Structure 1
Amino acid sequence: MPYIHLQITKGATREQKALIVQQFTETLVTVLGKKPEHTHIVIQEIEEENWGYSGMLTDDYRKSFS
Structure 2
Amino acid sequence: MVRGKTEMKRIENATSRQVTFSKRRSGLLKKAFELSVLCDAEVALIIFSPKGKLYEFSSSRSVKRTVL
Q: TM-score range by the shorter chain?
A: 0.3 to 0.5
Q: Higher strand share goes to which structure? A: 1
Ranked by relative contact order (alpha carbons within 8 Å, sequence separation 6 or more), the top structure is 1
Using structure 2 for the length normalisation, give the TM-score: 0.36
Using structure 1 for the length normalisation, give the TM-score: 0.37
